[in-house]
Structure 1
Amino acid sequence: MIQTQNRPEIRSGTPKPPSGWEQLKWYGPGLMWMISSVGSGSVLFTPRVGSRYGYEYLWALLIVIFLMWVMIREVGRYTVVTGKTILEGYRDLPGPKNWAVWLIFVPQLVAAVVTIAGIAALVGSALMLALPGSQAIYAVAIILLSAILVVSGHYSKVEQATSVMAGMLILAVLAAAIQVFPEVGAIASGLVPGIGDDFDIEFLLPWLGFILAGAAGIMWFSYWVAAREYGGPVEDSSNPHEAVDDLPNYEADDDFQQRRRDRLQRWMRVMSTTAVIGVVGGGLVIVAFMILGAELLRPEGIVPEGIAVAEDLTRLLSEVWGAFGYWLLIVSIVIALGGTIVANQDGWPRTFADATLILAGDRLNLQRGEENSPQGRQRPTRNKPPRWRRWLADREALKNIYVITTVTLLPLVVFFWVRDPVNILEVGGIVAAVHTPVIVCLTLYLNKTKLPQDLQPGWLAAPAMVLSGLVFTVVAVLYFMIELFGMEL
């Protein structure tokens, strides 16, 4: 297992950050995060909240949007400074071995299964409006087809197409919301914090958990920042000594250290701007969904639910643009959310594969059973590990195992057990909401203890992270007190 004390807390070097117009091409992770965050439970739950409550909880939405910016910025901070993903950072926390990785791994397994099952059920609900056949046929087909694309690796064109359709859905929702925009007084009334007589935590918690993709969205932002190489190429954490060996020539050079920190702080500003783009863009879309729910569904007393939930959602655009809006929303749901399933079936298994390799450690280390021949080739020894262990040590093979099991077979089981997209996704939203304070606390502790002082969260970021953790903790505790112990407000 990698010894954490030998791993650098700051990357050994970093290239010059972009400036001026060059920064524009670095904002991709923010845009991708925005698209993926919209293509989650927000499409379903925000119109439901708007229909039932109008703008009563707009204030809560805006608070969560701001807190999401704080949270993704902090996981991005760790990746920019160290060159490692946030999951690798959790491995380095003191205490029982890999305890923090387990805290991330297990809840996200549950979230992955129910989220994919729920989104597939929603896509199936939309397809059965447009084509002959049942919801089950289309839900099963989309899960299996997506899994085949992910395992084969031939889904880049699908990703591009779904990104375009997600963009069209975003533009359409924004345009429709502008067209039916309410009086300023109606919006303003929702900016005043308060809890009404009809407060239903079981109804609201999944919505809060899915705002901007929730806990999974926080984790994935770190992966996107790492993949885009903010702060420079990501060092191979499987061989940490290489990075350390490069440092002695520079550790005594104060000028070099200062230049490196200055560059990382400038990279932080680029990453922060990227996070702003993602959060503001995604937040505007969610507010637009709330407006459409409040203005179009609430007057008719329609709260989207049940197997035919997509039929209720089509009113969001058909009430504005007629048949064109009806078909636009169906096509957008099918393609954009279908693409979300592909992205989820690729993204979650990568995270699970990383977590498994971290947790397995030396047990999957092939070097124990192999030695090099004089020609530099590996030759088996008597202690060569069995084939299944070597297979599991292959990151790509491990990812595909998770694709087949956790994000294909298990979602199919959940779908046939429940069928209703709302009921399935409610579980995912609750898991996300309850899991968020765990990620917040781990990330804040990691950044405050593992990063150099001048690159740690500042006087504003640290209290904002504490506030984020407190808000989601209070909401989670409130949910369990009401649901399990019958507490009344």
Structure 2
Amino acid sequence: MPPQESSTLTAPVPAKSVYAKYLAALGPGFLFAGAAIGTSHVVQSTRAGAEYGIGLLGFILLAVLLKYPSFFFGPFYVSVTGKSLVEGYRQTFGRSVVGLFALVQIPVTAIIIAAIAITTAGLAGSIVPLTLSPPTVAVILIALCGVLTFAGGYKLLDWVNKVFVVILSVTTVLAAIVALPLVDWTFYPETAVSPLWSVATFVTLVAVLGLMPSDITLAVMNSLWSEARNKAQGRRSDTAAEKIDFNIGYIGAGVLAACFVIMGAGVMHSQGITPADGAVGFASQVISLYTSTLGEWSGVVVGISAFTVMLTTLLTVLDGFPRMISASWYTFTRPAGATETSRTIEGSPAFLVSLIGLSLLAAVILYTLMGNFRLFMDFVMVVAFLLSPILAALNHFTANGATVPVSLRPSKLINAWSWLAIATLTLLSLGYIYVRFIF
């Protein structure tokens, strides 16, 4: 598909009204929420509540707060430059960093796709009896979502995601409200599976926070979605509109993470229910959280909603990850000194190759590394956490790099906030390496 010159995309222009401008910008933030409300919420947040009551809730909310600048720099960079973070990495650090970023992300993103797919398959198995194994169902779902993603592009993804995220959000908030009286609000209950100051709790905390509210790679995907929306509209959204769109998705993801913790604490922890290790068994427990709080009527409705949201999460990452890898390929292979072009990523040969390659790699992972669902999920979260300080630093220096005019760079407050996040994530990552491999 021929490239489109970047000059065809105009700078921010006034919309018909203030409301119209902000409504037009909505989209990437919802996709952010759709991608985030996946395994980190349905699996890890619920399990945290089931095993620790609300003992880890404060840490989860602090993680969401702490990581905010690292994620916000994605749509922010698009609003001031018109380019994604992938192009920002090249112009700030050079081609080698873009190539290294893509090489590291290929196995990581395939693992995340496999994790989301097996969770979605588990939810499907909790709704209707399945004769096929969970990995096989997961592979079928990856194939179907891959076809839809390639055929529908950004517009289909945006519409489907908004509908089902809203449905699950409403039912989850209602279920959490009903579960509130069942929760033991002790700061760190004695019934937690391990003491607060223990290696076991620290390791679990790292695993839970790895994708809370999501992997920082999602900032790059968000910037690419913002770029795609701008191309579809023929104009670039300004920073204020981007921030509103992002905040809606980000705050929503944080609120729903807290809701899943509360449901796990109120329904499972209070009754001493141990989270199941299998994907189907755990998914059935998640559905029971709704039926025990909202009533039997909610079982089918919420089960279908949870499944469809996980399905849209799978759709989202099967668009976002190949989009990110193919954008990295085009950026990396552009000769030094060549004029930058703004390519249409979706439907391109690189996107198709990335989509097929990541899907096949995810299928291999599902059939070879899925012996224990719980251990696999912990591995996914820990890998994401160990990479988070590096990605946070890349985003920080790109947002404050030479490609961003000094007058438009992030404020001193958000930069200090970002430095705090980088330092904290680095210390926690080093601490995890120490207790797991040295201590």
Question: Smaller-chain TM-score range?
Answer: 0.7 to 0.9
**CA shift for structure 1 position 428:** 2.5
SS in 2 for 1:173: helix
> How far off is 1:161 after superposition?
4.2
Q: Given the alignment, which residue of 343, 354, 360 partners 1:409?
A: 360
Aligned residue number for residue 258 of structure 1: none
Q: Which amino acid is the alignment partner of residue 108 of structure 1? A: Q
Match of residue 460 from structure 1: 413
Tell me which residue corresponds to 1:473.
426
Unaligned runs of 5+ in 1: 1-6, 236-263, 366-392
User: TM-score, with normalisation over the residues of structure 2?
Assistant: 0.85
**Whole-Å separation in 1 of the counterparts to 2:385 and 2:202:** 12
CA distance change for structure 1 residues 167 and 474 in 2, over 3 Å: closer, same or farther? same
Q: TM-score, normalised by structure 1?
A: 0.76
Task: Letter of the 1:472 partner, please give it.
Answer: L
2:369 aligns to what?
418
Match of 2:120 among 123, 126, 134: 123
Aligned to 1:210: 211
For the residues of structure 1 that align with 2:16 and 2:212, how far apart are their CA atoms? 31
Q: What is the one-letter code of the residue matched to 2:289? A: L
Distance, in Å, in 2 between the alignment partners of 1:276 and 1:159 is 17
Partner in structure 2 of residue 101 of structure 1: 98
Name the SS for the 2:223 alignment partner: helix
Name 2:242's counterpart in structure 1.
271
Distance in 2 separating the partners of 1:84 and 1:397:
21
Is contact 1:306–1:421 with CA below 8 Å preserved after alignment?
A: yes
Number of residue pairs the alignment of both structures matches = 413
Distance in 2 between the 1:278 and 1:326 partners? 26
TM-aligned CA distance change 1:350 to 1:155, over 3 Å = closer
Q: 1:440 aligns with which of 379, 383, 392?
A: 392
Larger Rg computed on CA atoms: 1
Tell me if structure 1 keeps the 8 A contact 2:21–2:241.
yes
Name which of 324, 347, 350 aligns with 1:351: 324
What does residue range 103-182 of structure 1 map to in structure 2 within 5 Å?
Answer: 103-129=100-126, 130-134=128-132, 135-153=134-152, 160-182=159-181
Q: Is the 1:85–1:222 contact (alpha carbons within 8 Å) kept by the matching residues of 2? A: yes
Partner SS state of residue 214, structure 2:
helix
| 1:416, distance to aligned residue in structure 2 (A) | 0.9
Seq. identity, %: 20
1:309 aligns with 2:307: no
User: Quick one: structure 1 residues 188 and 91, their matched pair in 2 at CA, closer, same or farther if it must change by over 3 Å?
Assistant: same
The answer to whether the 8 A contact 1:304-1:313 is kept is no
Alpha-carbon offset, residue 325 of structure 1: 2.9
Separation in structure 1 between the aligned mates of residue 154 and residue 186 of structure 2, nearest angstrom:
41
Contact 1:39–1:166 (CA under 8 A) maintained in structure 2: no
Matched-pair contact (CA < 8 Å) for 2:120–2:138: yes
Of the structure 1 ranges 418-427 and 269-278, higher mean CA displacement relative to structure 2 is found in 418-427
Partner of 1:3 in structure 2?
Answer: none
Paired with 1:118 and 1:448, the residues of 2 have a C-alpha distance of: 34
Change over 3 Å in CA distance of 1:158–1:271 after alignment to 2: closer
8 Å CA contact retained: 1:114, 1:425: no
User: Are positions 1:295 and 2:266 aligned together?
Assistant: yes
Deviating more after overlay: 466-475 vs 321-330: 321-330
* Residue of structure 1 equivalent to 2:79: 80
CA distance in 2, matches of 1:15, 1:394: 25
SS in 2 for 1:457: coil
Distance 1:354 1:20, change over 3 A: closer
Higher mean C-alpha displacement, 275-284 vs 25-34: 25-34
Q: Give the corresponding residue for 2:342.
A: none
Paired with 1:287 and 1:361, the residues of 2 have a C-alpha distance of: 44
Q: What secondary structure is seen at the aligned counterpart in 2 of 1:44?
A: helix
Aligned to 1:242: none
Which digits, 9 at most, give the CA deviation of each residue in 1:340-365, with x for residues without a partner? 212211211111011112222349x9
How far apart are the structure 1 equivalents of 2:157 and 2:55? 38
Within-5 A mapping of 1:225-374:
225-229=226-230, 267-301=238-272, 302-307=274-279, 308-362=281-335
SS at match of 2:216: helix
What's the RMSD between the two structures over aligned residues?
3.1
Report the residue type matching 2:165 in the other structure.
A
CA distance in 2, matches of 1:89, 1:212: 23
User: Residue type of the partner of 1:311?
Assistant: S
1:323 to partner: Cα distance: 2.8
Residue of structure 2 aligned with 1:22, choices 20, 23, 27:
20
Which residue of the partner structure matches residue 220 of structure 2?
219
Following TM superposition, by how much is the alpha carbon of 1:39 offset from its aligned partner in structure 2, in angstroms? 2.9
CA contact (8 A) 2:29 2:246 kept: yes
> Greater CA deviation, 25-34 or 85-94?
25-34
SS at match of 1:93: helix
For structure 2, the residue ranges without an aligned partner over 5 or more in a row are 1-5, 190-194, 339-344
Contact in 2 for aligned 1:117/1:424 (Cα 8 Å): no
| C-alpha distance in structure 2 between counterparts of 1:70 and 1:60, whole Å | 17
Change (3 A) 1:140 1:442: closer
In the TM superposition, what is the alpha-carbon distance from 1:67 to its structure 2 partner?
2.5
Q: Counterpart of 2:67 in 1: which secondary structure?
A: helix
Q: In structure 1, how many angstroms separate the alpha carbons of the residues matched to 2:346 and 2:173?
A: 44
After TM superposition, which residue ranges in structure 1, 4 or more long, deviate above 6 angstroms? 187-190
